[in-house]
């Protein structure tokens, strides 16, 4: 087993132990050794802000991609309806042509005139019934033709609207992708200017900030009454998410080798037997909310006011998430970032 696999397996065992306990010693990372460095702290905040902006743009990109997929499917469905409508019109025109040819073969006399020339009363009466049936059929055929032509016009109009929307979505995706690349590049440039020791210290500063945020959150008593247990589906979702520990963050990725934050949570819940929205913003919008005191392993924690990050609660005050570019899927304190809401995929 390689180092990543060993670490993932060890963390998975720990996470599964968490699922079986309500716990009283909530997750608080070991405090890193302090050491103030104002200049490096400013760099850390700049990098954090750039990655935050990239995360927001990633959610916008993922949402645009989902919209583009839906619009493409609708365009395919409309194309099939248009083709069926064209075939229907062709069939109706063939029937109308057949009726015209039949009239030509009878000398061009209108049906009422041919009926009046019938030699016997019975033939006249029978012919009158057939004439009425024929008139109704012709009227129905013309009505069907008009309706089908109207449908085709509406389908064409709808297709035009969808094409315009799809193009707008494509432009939205391109803009989001450019912003993601620009923000990540800027953050990487900032980090690449640092010496090896400064990079190590930068990582230490990140941990210190997370430690402080987690401890401050725990001190509020937020987890005082939290004792919810995972459902069977929740356990499967947590097992999937924790099994990905050590895999890199890549924006737009849904596995199996890399993930972004909502790619991890959506795929974990797919493994748990539930299909949930792809993006953190849609997960917030469409999944039922629960209070922090009622959360249980498998619930999703949405972070920041713009819902730009999501993680999965695994119990005992901890969560698993794909943090940002340059970092791997990992376990962290559930309160190490500002919580916006908690949502439940298996409500």
Contact 207, 35 (CB under 8 A): no
Residue 343 is inside which H or E element, if any?
Answer: strand 339-343
How many Cα atoms within 13 Å fall on the side-chain side of residue 336? 26
Residue 14 structure tokens: 């720990």
Judge whether 49 and 42 are in contact, CB under 8 Å. no
* Bridge pairing between strands 300-303 and 289-290: unpaired
Instruction: Kindly list the distances between the CA atom of residue 322 and the CA atoms of 55, 246, 270, 271, in Å, as whole numbers in the listed order.
Output: 11, 9, 17, 17
Q: How many whole angstroms separate alpha carbon 262 and alpha carbon 268?
A: 10
- Among 26, 52, 162, 321, which one carries the catalytic annotation? 321
26 tagged catalytic: no
Listed residue (66, 51, 61) closest to 304, CA to CA: 51
Return d(Cα 11, Cα 331) in angstroms, integer. Answer: 8
Which of helix, strand or coil describes residue 235? helix
35: tokens are 């050491």
Cα angle vertex 268, ends 266, 274, to 5°? 70
CA distance 295 to 345: 11
For the CA atoms of the chain, what is the radius of gyration? 33
Per the annotation, the verdict on 14 as an active-site residue is no
Sheet holding 339-343, edge to edge: 289-290, 339-343, 300-303, 309-315, 318-321, 330-333
Is 52 in the active site? Answer: no
Match 């055929």 to its residue by tokens. 141
| Residues forming beta bridges with residue 16, ordered by sequence position | none
Catalytic residues: 261, 309, 321
């Amino acid at each position: 087993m390689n180092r990543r696999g060993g670490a993932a397996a060890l963390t998975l065992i720990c996470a599964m132990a968490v699922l079986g306990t309500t716990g009283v010693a909530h997750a608080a990372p070991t405090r890193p050794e302090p050491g103030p460095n104002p200049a490096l702290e400013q760099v850390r905040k700049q990098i954090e802000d750039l990655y935050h902006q990239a995360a927001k743009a990633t959610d916008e990109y993922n949402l645009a991609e989902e919209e583009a997929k839906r619009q493409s499917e609708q365009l395919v469905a409309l194309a099939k309806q248009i083709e069926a409508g064209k075939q229907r019109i062709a069939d109706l025109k063939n029937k109308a042509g057949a009726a015209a040819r039949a009239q030509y073969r009878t000398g061009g006399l209108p049906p009422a005139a041919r009926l009046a020339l019938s030699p016997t009363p019975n033939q006249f009466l029978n012919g009158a019934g057939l004439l009425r049936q024929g008139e109704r059929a012709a009227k129905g055929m013309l009505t069907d033709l008009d309706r089908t032509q109207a449908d085709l016009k509406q389908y064409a109009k709808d297709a035009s609207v969808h094409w315009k929307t799809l193009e707008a979505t494509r432009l939205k995706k391109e803009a989001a992708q450019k912003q993601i690349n620009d923000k990540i590049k800027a953050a990487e440039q900032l980090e690449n200017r640092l010496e090896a020791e400064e990079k190590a210290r930068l990582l230490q500063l990140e941990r210190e900030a997370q430690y402080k945020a987690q401890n401050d959150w725990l001190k509020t008593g937020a987890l005082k009454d939290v004792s919810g247990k995972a459902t069977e589906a929740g356990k499967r979702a947590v097992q999937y998410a924790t099994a990905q520990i050590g895999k890199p963050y890549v924006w737009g990725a849904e596995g199996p080798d890399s993930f972004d934050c909502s790619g991890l949570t959506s795929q974990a819940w797919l493994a748990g037997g539930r299909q949930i929205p792809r993006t953190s913003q849609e997960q917030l919008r469409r999944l039922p909310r629960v209070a922090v005191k009622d959360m249980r392993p498998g619930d999703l924690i949405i972070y920041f006011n713009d819902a730009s990050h999501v993680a999965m609660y695994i119990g005992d005050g901890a969560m698993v998430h794909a943090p940002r570019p340059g970092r791997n899927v990992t376990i962290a304190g559930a309160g190490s970032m500002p919580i916006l809401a908690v949502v439940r995929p298996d409500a």
